[in-house]
Structure 1
Amino acid sequence: MIFNDKGRERFLDAVAGFEAAVRERDADRSEHEFQQLYQHFQQAGEQEIARAAPRLAALLPEVPPGPRGTIAVIVGACVERGADAAGCAPHVFEGLVGTLAGVQEFCERWAETGGGDFPDPQGEPDAGLFDRVGPEAALSWLTLPQWEMASVAMLNHASVRTALGAEQRTRLFTALRAVEEESGHDFKCLAYALHVLDDEPLVVLHRPTGTGYALRMSGIGDNFQLHTLLADVLVGGGHVPGRAPSAQEAAVCRDQPGQVDTTGSFNLVTPGGDWVWNEGTPSDIPVVDGVRLLVLDPPPYERSWPAGRFFPHMTGDLRLERVLEPAEAGRLLAGCVTKEG
């Protein structure tokens, strides 16, 4: 062959075909173009992905409920490949809000029709599920994991988290938490993503040395990541004694891919003396006089884990802003409780 269609943008062609089929309510053509989206996504170029994502995101309200969640996942995958998250996110979160409302209805109907263990939302649905709770409620439950994936892809970006705002994130988490409590299923990735803090002041008191530090954190997904970065900044920075993480251990907690085994340097404790578990999130750290306040005690035993990021596509950061004056650190420590055992 002398000529070929190497330069043809097949993924964008599929997007255009899918848009037309959805708007014409042509089910057969929609299914065909839907398959084309899948077939050509991996080979699509950067510019194709950037142009396709906002079009698919804007189309979400018009896509039927069944495939809508899958299209949201494709939008999320486009964002992970460099498409503009800020432009896509409002449409994805609108879909998430509607899905959570539908899932709440699903929970209510499930209880009204006899209750029992909830079906696995990622398993093969029972044929009677749609008759039992109604098709829209059933589809909301079955597609919630897809909306979780798409929403996390948006929340990986600080600009999206900032634009969404703390109030809206709190509302989303409250709705999600109600679903978790009623269903017995957890949606940990979305819950953690909604709790991520940005440009958040953090005061840390190191009890063994009586010193204190004002820091600022952003994009930290869990306390394993925070723990490693605290050791990097404070031990690695020569401020407190202990084991400093290697450069690689710190890097994978900031912006580099992968995981590296590390060993804990502290026990994270609240001012009231309760442990702040590594398995939790920085939002667990209590606010005292308007600032999150964390105490570092010696580790009661050796703890190791794979250092890295809970959200591999989210950049994390922890910066030291100043060392507290000894009197200030002493005053704050005097108000902190030590619990035995």
Structure 2
Amino acid sequence: MSAFVAEPTTALEIESIGNGTGLWLPPEVRDEVERVQSGTSAAELTAGVVELRNLIGGSADLFHAAMLALMCGTMVEHGAEPGAAIDATLDLLVATLNTLAEDPDEMARAASRLSIPAAMTMLARSKETRKRWRARPEIMDRLEALEDADLAPFWLREVFTLHDDAPLLVLDPNNRRAFEFRLIGVRDRLYHCYALLQDALLRHTGPGYLGAEPVDPLAVRYARNDHLTPADYRAATTLGDHQRFAFAYPGIAFMPGSGTPAELPTVDGVPLLTVSPKTIHFNWRPANMYGVIHEALGSSIDLIRELSPADAEALLSRCALP
């Protein structure tokens, strides 16, 4: 295997990816790959990932490096630890994006068809890595230009702008209550936040809080990407959702779902929303606003704590919410 990847990629290998045949490997290399990927436990699969990852640096070119990353991603899908090869894969992704931007030849395009899925497979399963790599300029700047040139899929940007372990304060001036939530895997648009937040708030406060209607269980499951079935995906093509509260912030009566968490005001660095009985109705199509970008990428908003009455009152007063 090491000798094979150290040789330049052939036209046959690139053609096999382009025509949908899949990876072309000599029989002896295919046998070795099957051995490496034959583990049945997470530990065995992870050991196989490490073995292949260690060959990436010795690859002759982008394509052979991307091929190894894809093989690692396959084992991650079967239970290997995603962190075992994720940084090597993301470094490779950056190199691939740079090459696509500078010289998008057939090898670079073929390599991207392998390295992008490999990176997505690992990022979807590794919150801590997403946090470390979030919105890195060397990726975001490249993606904007590559998307315009149809050299990178739009959903690749989405995974690099997710909000992970991000706190959110929610104030209820009517009932003088305050809550702190945590966002995990939440998309960079408030429609997704609202879909998850209203469910989390109602689960804590009980049904009918602030006159809210019950949430739609399928809409919540879709927003969470919670074990969706083929039937769920079919239903999602016509699925709608809407706000159960008036979402706003001090001084603003309405915060549209098209906004981002970065547009919210902060208190001590923590973004802030207010909730009250809704006075207007707005709805959205979940599949359009936050369509599933990877089956393994779960999203959630969870309650960290409800502030004590004294702390809630102090925070409400600080925000000039009588």
SS of corresponding position for 2:272:
strand
Match of 2:119 among 151, 167, 172: 151
Q: Distance in 2 between matches of 1:174 and 1:308?
A: 20
Residue 210 of structure 1, CA deviation: 6.8
SS of corresponding position for 1:198:
coil
Q: Distance in 2 between matches of 1:34 and 1:172?
A: 38
1:6 counterpart residue number:
none
1:90 counterpart residue number:
87
Match of 1:192 among 158, 164, 167: 158
2:300 counterpart residue number:
317
2:98 counterpart residue number:
101
1:119-177 superposed Cα distances (whole Å, 9 cap, x missing partner): xxxxxxxxxxxxxx6x5xx5334533533222222222123224x355xx422443334
Q: Distance in 1 between matches of 2:247 and 2:85?
A: 37
Q: Distance in 1 between matches of 2:129 and 2:138?
A: 14
Residue 83 of structure 1, CA deviation: 1.0
Structure 2 counterparts to residues 235-250 of structure 1, below 5 A? 235-238=202-205, 239-245=209-215, 250=220
The two structures, once aligned, show a CA RMSD in angstroms of 4.1
Q: Distance in 2 between matches of 1:192 and 1:281?
A: 13
User: TM-score, normalised to structure 1's length?
Assistant: 0.65
Structure 2 counterparts to residues 59-74 of structure 1, below 5 A? 59-63=55-59, 64-74=61-71
Letter in 2 for 1:227: Y
Q: Distance in 2 between matches of 1:334 and 1:186?
A: 45
Change in CA separation of 1:88 and 1:328 when aligned onto 2, cut-off 3 Å: same
1:32 counterpart residue number:
26
Unpaired runs of at least 5, structure 1: 1-17, 107-132, 336-341
SS of corresponding position for 2:25:
helix
Match of 2:257 among 263, 267, 277: 277
Aligned-pair identity in percent equals: 20
Match of 1:300 among 256, 276, 281: 281
Q: Given that residues 194 and 257 in structure 2 are in contact (C-alpha distance below 8 angstroms), is that contact kept between their aligned partners in structure 1?
A: no
Residue 246 of structure 1, CA deviation: 5.3
Total equivalences in the alignment:
284
Q: Given that residues 196 and 282 in structure 1 are in contact (C-alpha distance below 8 angstroms), is that contact kept between their aligned partners in structure 2?
A: no
Structure 2 counterparts to residues 166-181 of structure 1, below 5 A? 166=134, 169-180=135-146
Residue 217 of structure 1, CA deviation: 1.6
SS of corresponding position for 2:136:
helix
1:221-255 superposed Cα distances (whole Å, 9 cap, x missing partner): 45444222211121232254312335665455447
Letter in 2 for 1:161: R
Change in CA separation of 1:143 and 1:22 when aligned onto 2, cut-off 3 Å: closer
Q: Distance in 1 between matches of 2:227 and 2:122?
A: 19
1:46 counterpart residue number:
40
User: TM-score, normalised to structure 2's length?
Assistant: 0.69
Change in CA separation of 1:304 and 1:31 when aligned onto 2, cut-off 3 Å: closer
Change in CA separation of 1:287 and 1:140 when aligned onto 2, cut-off 3 Å: farther
Q: Given that residues 101 and 142 in structure 2 are in contact (C-alpha distance below 8 angstroms), is that contact kept between their aligned partners in structure 1?
A: no
Q: Distance in 2 between matches of 1:96 and 1:281?
A: 26
Q: Given that residues 121 and 294 in structure 2 are in contact (C-alpha distance below 8 angstroms), is that contact kept between their aligned partners in structure 1?
A: no
Residue 202 of structure 1, CA deviation: 0.6
Residue 82 of structure 1, CA deviation: 1.3
Change in CA separation of 1:39 and 1:99 when aligned onto 2, cut-off 3 Å: closer
Letter in 1 for 2:30: Q
Match of 1:215 among 166, 170, 181: 181
Residue 46 of structure 1, CA deviation: 3.0
